[in-house]
Structure 1
């Protein structure tokens, strides 16, 4: 095993999404400082450019002895015209990863589909919400283009099946993998939300998994969001993702499979949350220190 631990701005409430009214979120320097102080070697990018660009980015990472682990890049993969329009922004994101990537520990552009209004309204998917064959043809063609562009930039992308997108459920993941050669990000929380099981997924896709996002989850919150069609913001504000050991993930079994396999690169701890007015200010850092302590059983 040659895995390294990273954490992500989403653990501190920093998304592309806006914060709740009245909540102040940490800036890039504070985020880097807290993640390093909590004991992680890497940091996920958060919104592209939030950590800086060029020399500013490299200096910030060096100042805190952090490597850039990767970062979220969603693209409208099922819409050919929209995908073409998104390519300039994608190329800029690839330039960002190139600027910040450590050759010994390369950043992984973490691709995902943008989904649709129908999918965003129904976390977990459901009947009538998947792509038809023509839609899959379009998505696969665009994934291959995105992968080729990343490789031309000297980067190896990975694909993140994500809630409220057209690659979410185990069947959709299988379809993506059958149609492309992109590596797979296994995210324990999003896989559960999509109706999968992390242990099954780790075994089933072992030869394609090249990036890992570790979340503990409260299934009751996920199930309520799915049943009511409340959407993903309710999942995040309702704290579906909790400190390691506090949810329903069989953490020991998941970690034994991960550490017993051939995984390399990054294991990114993500505890996606949208902080609320009245939260204790030190709560995010306290929880990420806790998560690092829990993982000392496998990562001393």
Structure 2
């Protein structure tokens, strides 16, 4: 087995759900440079940004890129069943885009990337805590709703993955264990979010490698995370304070992590992410330069 490909993500350029109040660039402004930097794929970004149907397929083929996956959060644990039922319509809409990408590149099919929408209490407290964890009924609801979403994804001919994510109800190692025990959906291991949740990515890979079908690799500065957690400043502060940095510039033990991934023969997409909220003070072109550098760093393991 071998890695399907190295992808990047629109979030590395500040294109994601929290920045929809800003004008997004045209996809070509990042797709062509990413291809030239040696990336094999791109994550979805906001639903519709990359286009739909034939337009999406043409765009991916033109740049020789596959669609790796795409974030889709749902109210698995909050609200009533009616709220979750309503969210399934949005999932169906996104699945049409994923299915079109899979049709264009069936050997590198995307993995729809599910995540919990979290809660106000969790969003205010990156890193979680015992008092913020779900009770038994909450876990039952999450597992039941994840299964409903997974059935829909598999009916579309695709395989789901679940992203443990900061400020949600699947964040800490203990919560990831509980999630995997209660569902048959495999895991997107995100090195940065695992650190926020109090885990270690090298240990996480060893612990869950048989259930990991998708990788998000990001480096982080622990000192920034610690400040945000101590101040209870919320998840947006993690992005705004630029906790996520270029590979090698933070506290992730990238060498040990990637050595393990390669040695164990991981088969799937590896998505490089360097989440940012854009600022007028950002140097022009810095985001793309960081992504070129990130791809070069990974050539040690994936030429």
> For this structure pair, what is the TM-score category when the shorter chain's length is used for normalisation?
over 0.9
Of the three residues 202, 207, 221, the one matched with 1:204 is 207
Q: Match for residue 224 of structure 1?
A: 227
1:66-111 CA-partner distances (Å, limit 9, x unpaired) = 0000000100001333111111111111111001122101100000
Greater share of helix: 2
In the aligned structure 2, how far is the partner of 1:25 from the partner of 1:71? 17
Give 5+ residue unaligned stretches, structure 2.
none
Q: Helix, strand or coil for the counterpart of 1:225? A: helix
Residues 192 and 218 of structure 2 are in contact (CA less than 8 Å); yes or no, is this contact kept in structure 1? Answer: yes
Across the two proteins, how many residue pairs are aligned to each other? 298
Q: Match for residue 44 of structure 1?
A: 43
Q: Match for residue 10 of structure 1?
A: 11
User: Per-residue deviation at 1:19?
Assistant: 6.2
User: Per-residue deviation at 1:232?
Assistant: 1.2
CA RMSD of aligned residues (A): 1.2
Q: Helix, strand or coil for the counterpart of 2:251? A: coil
Q: Which runs of 4+ in 1 moved over 6 A?
A: none
Of the three residues 233, 241, 244, the one matched with 2:236 is 233
Give the TM-score taking structure 2 as reference length: 0.96
In the aligned structure 2, how far is the partner of 1:234 from the partner of 1:34? 29
Residues 19 and 275 of structure 1 are in contact (CA less than 8 Å); yes or no, is this contact kept in structure 2? Answer: no
Residues 38 and 285 of structure 1 are in contact (CA less than 8 Å); yes or no, is this contact kept in structure 2? Answer: no
User: Per-residue deviation at 1:29?
Assistant: 1.9
Residues 67 and 105 of structure 1 are in contact (CA less than 8 Å); yes or no, is this contact kept in structure 2? Answer: yes
Give 5+ residue unaligned stretches, structure 1.
none
- Between 87-96 and 108-117, report the one with greater CA deviation: 87-96
Aligned ranges for residues 63-142 of structure 1 at < 5 Å? 63-79=62-78, 80-101=81-102, 102-142=105-145
Give the TM-score taking structure 1 as reference length: 0.97
Q: Helix, strand or coil for the counterpart of 2:15? A: coil
Q: Helix, strand or coil for the counterpart of 1:167? A: coil
In the aligned structure 2, how far is the partner of 1:26 from the partner of 1:234? 23
